[in-house]
Amino acid sequence: DQQVKQNSPSLSVQEGRISILNCDYTNSMFDYFLWYKKYPAEGPTFLISISSIKDKNEDGRFTVFLNKSAKHLSLHIVPSQPGDSAVYFCAALSSNTGKLIFGQGTTLQVKP
């Protein structure tokens, strides 16, 4: 039962362009949604989050959009940089259970 899904295993974009990473979820009880970035041989690093009561949160080049009716969120990176190349995990949190449910990850490659 995959509660959080990232249907695109990989994405390749040109430096300077926009990267859009998508995530779908099934459980309407999730309170928060987070994006983590992971380099090889390192632990995931928190990037940005959004509360379920909001539809947008922006932090520098990173913006997360939440569409609750569609149970869909996306991460926009503008402009994309080669250093953004990593695996991006979408995660959903239900505060009352404390469980963080991760998607399978999307490997982003930003080409110079």
Positions that interact with another protein (CB under 8 A)? 31-32, 34, 36, 41-46, 49, 51, 89, 91, 93, 95-105
Q: How far is the CB of 42 from another protein (least distance, A)?
A: 6
Residue with Cβ nearer another protein (25 or 89): 89
Q: Report yes or no: 104 and 36 within 8 Å, Cβ to Cβ.
A: no
Q: Which value, to the nearest 10 degrees, does the dihedral of the CA atoms of residues 86, 64, 57, 102 take?
A: -70
CB-count burial class (<10 Å; 0-12, 13-18, 19+) for 86: buried
Report the residue number, 49 or 74, with the smaller CB distance to another protein.
49
Least CB distance from residue 55 to another protein, whole Å?
A: 18
Bridge partners for 45 per DSSP: 37
- Smallest gap from Cβ 81 to another protein, in A, equals 21
